[in-house]
Amino acid sequence: MLIYLRVLKESFSFALNALRKNKLRTFLSLLGVTVGIFSIIAVLAAVDSLDRNIKESLSSLDSNTMYLSRISFAPTDVPRWKREQFEDISYNEYKHLKSSLSDAKHVAFQLFVRRENIRYEAELVSSVNTVVVSHEFTDIQVLEFEKGRFYNESESNSGKAVVVIGSSIAKSLFGDLEPIGKKVRIYGQKFTVIGVVKKEGSGLFGDSNDVSIFLPANYVRNRFGDNNPNIINVVIIKPEEDADIEGLEAEVVQILRGKRGLKPDDINTFFISVISGLKDAIDGIISVLNGIGWAISGFSLLVGGFGIANIMFVSVKERTNLIGIQKSLGAKNRFILFQFLFEAVILAIVGGLFGLLFVYIIAKIMNGVIGDDFNFVLSFGNMFLGFALSTFIGLISGIIPAISASKLDPVEAIRTGM
């Protein structure tokens, strides 16, 4: 055992000496592996970070939450001309579903409206994300409040002119003033501020709550009517924890088809989009992005591997005389093999570590520049993968040159090198 350890140690020393004596060649070999590892790990880290940030953005919602609307949030086989003929989900249908569904924990009504301006005295915030929902919205998507509260059932049903604003909106309009109770103008009308949502940072899906305002759905319905073509109605359904999701979805379809008087051979004139389905679609997209990243970056890594193999063949050629002398003095084939194999592996590992270092530096820079909008993460799994890949590339690239060196005849090697 000690003999093998000594052979490994001496082979390792020979490899390091060879790399130090040929600095330019070593640098060029390192560069190829560095670019390859950097490309793969950077792409994987970016895709993992995107996946993690998307999942965090959806974490406030139950994965079984359903969105019922005349539009589909996912790809559909229904032709566009048919979809354009679908009626909006009405407020009466929302009330009917709320009273009829057996396994629905909460049912809320939302209107997708255009962005609006909000003004307080001389201060104006333009093009604000306007969330128009019924009071049940906070039971489905948890909101934490810095000050005040969300509007209650009475205020929601009556369509009272009250508003809940995000922390960034409050800062822009009021500065250090107390916002609760202040009157702001939206739609040219005065609204009373009753709540400020706690700061949460930017989100990937649309605007975060920091730059949003929340209005009672019935205020907008009373003002603009139920058949406004610029407004899309949505019913949000949160199931009970132990509910049969497929059964609940079938119940929604049955109730709404019955309410609309659809015949058995008529297609559904509405769509049910489930958050879990959206997450599955995201996972599919992430898998495709990973595959594309591997395919593109693999070419860079392949070039790096060929570069190491080429350098190792040149190294064997240059040191043929030395190999002959070593073997004539009693060096075993395995000693020669390990000597060149270690040289290739060291090149690949050092190149891989430089690649990981560059990814780490870029991740830090991006996080500093982007801030809270996107968190770029270099995980331990990706770092280990980079290290393992570089080692593997070193072994594959160096094995053939190392074997050819170990099999050289000592006499022929000495004569060739003279």
CA pair distance 253, 210, nearest whole angstrom: 35
Side chain identity at residue 172, one-letter code: S
Give the pLDDT score at 181: 92
**Angle value at C-alpha 151, between 149 and 155, nearest 5 degrees:** 150
The better pLDDT of the pair 19, 156 is held by 156
Residue 59 has pLDDT above 60, yes or no: no
pLDDT value, residue 365: 80
Interhelix angle for 320-328 vs 275-318, to 10°?
70
Query: Which of these, 37, 3, 2, lies nearest to 303 by C-alpha position?
Result: 37
Q: How far apart are CA 347 and CA 19, in angstroms?
A: 8
61-65, 95-99, 215-219, 229-233: range with lowest mean pLDDT = 61-65
- pLDDT value for 4: 52
How much is the pLDDT for 249? 86
Secondary structure (3-state) at 326: helix
pLDDT digits (tens, 9 = 90+) for 320-369: 777 677 677 676 777 777 777 777 777 777 777 888 888 888 878 877 77
> Could you tell me which residue, 362 or 150, shows the higher pLDDT?
150
pLDDT digits (tens, 9 = 90+) for 222-272: 998 888 888 899 999 988 888 788 888 889 889 999 888 888 888 888 888
Q: For residue 42, what are the contacts with CB-CB under 8 A and spacing of at least 6?
A: 297, 359, 362
Beta strands per DSSP E along 46-152: 66-69, 104-112, 116-120, 123-133, 145-148
Is the Cβ–Cβ distance between 217 and 156 less than 8 Å? yes
- CB 391, CB 348: distance < 8 Å: yes
Residue 11 has pLDDT above 60, yes or no: no
CA distance 354 to 212: 43
In this model, does residue 30 exceed pLDDT 80? no
For the cut 80, the answer to whether the pLDDT of residue 163 exceeds it is yes
Residue 136's pLDDT band (cuts 50, 70, 90)? very high
Which alpha helices (DSSP H) does 130-183 contain, by range? 137-140, 153-158, 167-174
C-alpha closest to that of 133 among 98, 166, 157, 168: 157
379 vs 319: CA distance, rounded Å: 41
pLDDT at position 336, please?
73
The pLDDT of residue 364:
80
Res. 55 pLDDT band, cuts 50 70 90: low
Q: How confident is the model at residue 413 (pLDDT cuts 50, 70, 90)?
A: low
Least confident of 6-20, 165-179, 304-318: 6-20
Q: Give the pLDDT of residue 149.
A: 93
How many Å separate Cα 126 from the centre of its chain? 29
pLDDT of residue 370: 64
8 Å CB contact between 328 and 409 = no
